[in-house]
Amino acid sequence: MNEQNDHNDQPEPRFRVRARHTDSTVTVYQAYRPEIGRAAARDGHFPSSWKRDRMTWIKPSFLWMMYRCGWGTKENQETVLSVEIDREGFVWALHNACLSHYVPDLHGDKETWQRQLCRAPARVQWDPERDLRLAPLPYRSLQLGLAGEAAARYADEWIVGIEDVTPLAAEIHGLVKAGENERATALLPVERPLPLEDGALEHLCR
């Protein structure tokens, strides 16, 4: 079952990283056209056709990925990947990320934010988390964009394993359409709050 809270009686904070994770890894999701996605799952790394000079967005939330790719039905997003990556690498990306939008109280003047954005190898945006029917929830889901050094580290150093979870997405989607919400929920990846050191998100949560 997909755990949204530490405790059922505690409200979910507006900003918190929730993910499937172990002591050493974090699982994120991406969706690609089959030629890239299937090759990546087969070989455990992205093929040469994967464009490392473009920003790549990774998403710890399975349901937000389903919202983004339409349960794997959108063009060029038909193959959904579960990518297990090094936890230290994920945290490094957070520390070196810049918020994708300008916040005066956080960045000061807009020029300062623009300089930070240009220098940062990663960027963060927070979008409404989604429920089983992909409706927005009142708290946010992390999207982490990787470019330059961060994208290279992701592709070459951080990946522990890649799994094609397109069949899982299709199965859950079918159950949702059939009104079998309890069975669908039972198949969701378990996503728990990711423990982070104090201050790790302060520059990213406004």
34-73 per-position pLDDT tens digit? 999 999 999 999 999 999 989 999 999 999 999 999 999 9
Write down the pTM of the prediction. 0.92
Percent of the chain with pLDDT over 70: 94
Q: How confident is the model at residue 9 (pLDDT cuts 50, 70, 90)?
A: low
User: Does residue 110 contact residue 139 with C-beta atoms inside 8 Å?
Assistant: no
158-170 per-position pLDDT tens digit? 999 999 999 999 9
- CA dist 107 and 172 (Å) reads 41
166-200 per-position pLDDT tens digit? 999 999 999 999 999 999 999 999 999 999 998 78
Q: How confident is the model at residue 135 (pLDDT cuts 50, 70, 90)?
A: very high
Rounded (to 5) percent helix, strand, coil in the chain:
35, 25, 40
pLDDT in the model for residue 205: 81
- CA dist 103 and 69 (Å) reads 28
